[in-house]
Amino acid sequence: MNILLTGGTGYIGSHTAVVLSQLGHRVVLLDNLSNSNAQVVDQLRRITGLDMPLVHGDVRDTPVVQHTLEKFDIQAVVHFAGLKAVGESVQKPVEYFSNNVQGTLSVLQAMQAHGVNTLVFSSSATVYGEPQFLPLTESHPTGATNPYGRSKLHVEEILADLARSDPKWKIACLRYFNPVGAHASGLIGENPNGIPNNLMPFIAQVAWGQRTELQVFGNDYATPDGTGVRDYIHVMDLAQGHAAAIDYLKQHPGCHPINLGTGQGYSVLEMVRAFERASGQAVPYRVTPRRPGDVAACYANPQKAHELLNWQAQLSLDDMCTSTWHFQQSLGRLESP
């Protein structure tokens, strides 16, 4: 299939581009490069041996999206493009609704105009709000605690209405848990601008010596060691999940919310120890107060993905840490003077 990846030069998009193109799909990337770099295309060529066209454009520019769908005869869209920092979304709600909700509407308008009706949307476990029970199933009530989460929820609701309005639409809302890790080549990975918000890139920078210590946000949660528990999933497993969803949609119209997680939760301190083992480096840390808005534990019931998509995460916590470390080393060498 010819598949458009919006946000395709970003962290999850670039790994999905590798998997889809290695399965024989023709992949086209569209990105405004607000949080990624065009050099990713060179890295993708080194990994896959293939040239993937990159359209430098904004998803809110409907004519650009439409022209891309026409030019490359696109049959399915994976819509990654959007902003994703929870804290920033509280400061800049208009930007978040514009990029995430308006951006999706623009993609849908272009798809409608061009008769493309297969869509995989990057949703998030954040749509569950404060967990009322664990592990989280797709039937857990939804709710949002910040504008980022609300933008994902709004889009999911729009997509469900769209699928109800017209049986031609085939839509998967993939609710990612905590994506971490990198491609085994070390050529692509997560490279946040400035101080990382997320645990794994922060730990990697401490292990590399770029930061002195990790702040552990609270050790008084009702979890086995008191620190927050999350469902970390290797980004290559996540990428495989997108390929499985595209296959599933061929025969299954409608709008399908599906968790992509491992079902296994790890605490912050377990992550620190696993990273120390994988990297052979110390990761000094200091316990600080809880981060506002954090929940004690969040992990998936991944059974629906297994049943519908025949997909299950395969890679281990050690794979997640080793590949992150490998990418951090490549990055660190490139960035050091």
Which residues sit at the interface with ligand NAD, rule CB under 6 A? Answer: 6-7, 9-13, 31-36, 58-60, 80-84, 99, 103, 122, 124, 176, 178-179
If phi > 0 it is left, if psi is from -120 to 50 it is alpha, else beta; for residue 213 that is beta
Parallel/antiparallel/unpaired status of strands 266-267 and 229-230: antiparallel
Considering only CA atoms, give the Rg of the chain: 19
Q: Is 315 in the site for ligand UFG (CB under 6 A)?
A: no
Q: Is 202 in the site for ligand UFG (CB under 6 A)?
A: yes
Q: Residue 245: which residues within 8 A CB-CB, separation 6 or more? A: 120, 172, 174, 258, 309, 311
Rule CB under 6 A: which of 57-96 touch ligand UFG? Answer: 84, 86
User: Measured from the CB of residue 259, what is the shortest distance to ligand UFG in angstroms?
Assistant: 10
**Choosing among ligand UFG, ligand NAD, none, which partner's interface includes residue 231 (Cβ < 5 to 8 Å by kind)?**
none
Question: Which CB, 169 or 275, lies closer to ligand UFG?
Answer: 275
Question: Which CB, 137 or 281, lies closer to ligand NAD?
Answer: 137
Indicate the residue type of 107: V
Question: Which CB, 192 or 253, lies closer to ligand UFG?
Answer: 192
Question: Which CB, 58 or 156, lies closer to ligand NAD?
Answer: 58
Helix (H, G, I), strand (E, B) or coil at 146: coil
- Phi first, then psi: give them for residue 77, nearest 5 degrees: -125, 135
Q: Is 324 exposed, middle or buried (0-12, 13-18, 19+ CB in 10 A)?
A: buried
| Whole-angstrom distance, CA of residue 226 vs CA of residue 210 | 27
Q: Is 142 in the site for ligand UFG (CB under 6 A)?
A: no
Q: Is 230 in the site for ligand UFG (CB under 6 A)?
A: yes
**CB 280: neighbour CB atoms within 10 A?**
8
- Concerning whether 176 is annotated as a catalytic residue, the answer is no
What tokens does 38 get? 């065009």
DSSP for residue 98: I
What tokens does 122 get? 């990057």
Question: Which CB, 48 or 281, lies closer to ligand NAD?
Answer: 48
- Choices 124-132, 134-142, 156-164, 240-248; region in contact with ligand UFG by CB under 6 A: 124-132
Q: Which of 215, 219, 312, 329 binds ligand UFG (CB under 6 A)?
A: 215
| Whole-angstrom distance, CA of residue 306 vs CA of residue 259 | 10
**Choosing among ligand NAD, ligand UFG, none, which partner's interface includes residue 263 (Cβ < 5 to 8 Å by kind)?**
none
User: Measured from the CB of residue 228, what is the shortest distance to ligand UFG in angstroms?
Assistant: 2
- Phi first, then psi: give them for residue 59, nearest 5 degrees: -65, -20
Q: Which of 206, 216, 315, 320 binds ligand UFG (CB under 6 A)?
A: 216
Tokens 């840490």, residue located: 321
* Site track 175-194 with ligand UFG (rule: CB under 6 A), x = hit: -xxx----------------
Closest-CA residue to 217 (of 231, 209, 205, 229): 229
Catalytic member of 148, 176, 232, 266: 148
Question: Which CB, 179 or 186, lies closer to ligand UFG?
Answer: 179
For ligand UFG, the binding residues (CB under 6 A) are: 84, 86, 124-126, 176-178, 197-199, 202, 214-217, 228, 230, 268, 291, 294
